Structure 1
């Protein structure tokens, strides 16, 4: 039995997120499993590094699956890219040790969130960024980024109501830079809670406009109350860039 690792890019606009649901035609996992089962003649189940929400994109999602197929890695990649929709592309196929697990072996992830901050809307980037036409203080936002890095309980910056598992995460990097009218937020850490990146970005925007003081961050960490943080931004500005192993 072979263990195959896939690196996947996708435009999430048409899909109900990564995880297979009853209607597998509307999820990334369901689409890939369908083509793999057709290719191998086996019932294939793939394991993703984690879920992405409805509308979220990926440049470097990772998954693995077990198979008895004798097809080469190149043949597997080409078959998938021939029969998958054009908004899902397999960029890399690797053979990995039997014990490799895309989710359990992941040591960290990198996400990007894009915000269009021009005076007028964008036509070509509207499906890949959040339109936010307010004046922003980037220096203050980057100061807030520093307060958000490190090891903290991030439940106040997540959509989780309660969790039996730990909600403590270590965030190595949060930064924001402007390229023309586009703001690029970068998040690197050992893990992220449900909607955490979108809430953190919404919080940073409120700090950038002056609607929220930087000192509020420490209060949210202490109180662990979701309502105290910024709004949850739309999923279409979010990208899973890379999974670390």
Structure 2
């Protein structure tokens, strides 16, 4: 039999505390892809250092072995009630990666949407054992995946691209992103992004990105004992020398000298108190 799309499990769970937490990086075995829809309460998923909430009528998408973790959100007002479906299939990886790229792992799934309808039809048939045969199951699972992809492609068109770009920078400044990547993610040209973001924020995208990185760098220099050369990767600089040069341009002294000056001033203030 050729490889088909199959449901490994589909069920409802109710979670009441932050002890509900899974780290997908530690999950081995065959590839399993999960759609987890919030019925009530709120969950979260964190990927690449970005934590996103999944309130009612939204779904998180993840797979076993990916660089993400998820669980009960402390912001949840009451129990976190979720419906999940775990699936396998020949193109799950490609489709999930594309949906994740377009949606940042979070999909709107309101009650009347096509993905939600298919999700619950599949869940019902799986638990009632009413698929006509494996081919019927495979067809419906693939239809669900394509409906998620179709909805994901609408997200960039429906959001305000400049607001999205500003949020994208805010969430990912600690990663080595470029302004070209931000513009591409927002679905606009670099020139249009620069004009509009400068008009709204009074800063170009590059200036905004640099400001966030330098503030993060200054905090790490002043408030941690991390080696200077290890700080850059935590605020968007893969090259320690590039971080040191940018820091010196911004604060008129090297990171090491800035740390020394901060510690001397803090010590002097402490001795006077």
Do they superpose with TM above 0.5? no
The structure carrying a bigger strand percent of its residues is 1
The structure carrying a bigger helix percent of its residues is 2
TM-score with structure 1 length normalisation? Answer: 0.29
Larger Rg: 2
TM-score with structure 2 length normalisation? Answer: 0.27
Choose between structure 1 and 2 for higher RCO, CA contacts under 8 A separated by at least 6 residues: 1
